[in-house]
Amino acid sequence: MTIVYIRPDKNFSSAPEQLQLINSYALANDLVINDEYVDYTSQSKRLDERGNVTSYFQSNEGATLLIYDVWVLTTDMEDLIQMISCLLKKNYIVHIIKHSVIISKESNAMLVLGLMDQLRQKLKNDSKRVIGRPKGSRSNSKFDVYLNQIIEYIREKKSVSEMARLLNVSRSSLKDYIESRELKQVAFGSLVTHKKEGAEEQVINTIICPD
């Protein structure tokens, strides 16, 4: 079973941005996605406050999990250690799409540590910057909560007018949302990505050691 876990965040990437790469990766690697979970829980929530998420992962033991990057799981380093440890203990195979790497029980420990250290570095660097929306990131939309439904409607070849009626929203606003997020490409996985050569080594090489 292949599942997708998406957790949008204004300081990282939106749900549509993550879905674009995940759907393209799945298509390029002949992976059939069986379920998608979009989690709108704030990054400030600790793992013990996210029972719905932990229950979801526990109920899909042994699955192939596709996530955009490790920060999607959590930005708290203590929780990240626990989540990755438990996923691997539950025999998950986790594809980290942004870095084109796969982690499992058999993975090089340095690869897992490299992914975690990249997040540590990013959080450290971001804390030094002026607070505000990152350059190039998309703002949240009122349509984000309907994202999975919209993608399913597109796959069912429903017209924008029909979708707008079903969701009880403005047709023109919905059309703009679909186009700006490239959801037709997302729905049919046409944004094909390719596996990077030496991706694991690249992650490991990003580890920074103190002088």
- pLDDT tens figures, 124-180: 887 665 445 444 445 668 888 888 789 889 989 999 999 999 999 999 999 999 888
| 145 φ, ψ (degrees, to nearest 5) | -70, -20
Sorted by sequence, the CB contacts under 8 Å of residue 123 that are 6+ apart come out as 75
Q: Which amino acid is at 158?
A: K
- Give CA–CA dist 143/179, Å, rounded: 12
Topology of domain 2-138+198-205, CATH: Rossmann fold (3.40.50)
Which of the 8 DSSP states describes residue 132? S
- Spell out the domain ranges in the chain: 2-138+198-205
In the numeric block, which tokens belong to residue 53?
């998420």
Model confidence at 77, in pLDDT bands (50, 70, 90)?
Answer: very high
CB 66 within 8 A of CB 35: no
Can you give the pTM of this predicted structure?
0.72
CB 191 within 8 A of CB 20: yes
DSSP H stretches of helix in the chain: 15-28, 51-59, 77-89, 109-126, 147-155, 160-167, 171-180, 183-187, 199-205
- pLDDT tens figures, 6-24: 998 877 888 878 887 888 7
Q: Across the beta sheet with 2-6, what order do the strands follow?
A: 35-38, 2-6, 64-67, 93-96, 101-103
Which of these ranges, 103-107, 122-126, 201-205, has the smallest mean pLDDT?
122-126
Q: Nearest 5 degrees, angle CA 191-CA 115-CA 69?
A: 35
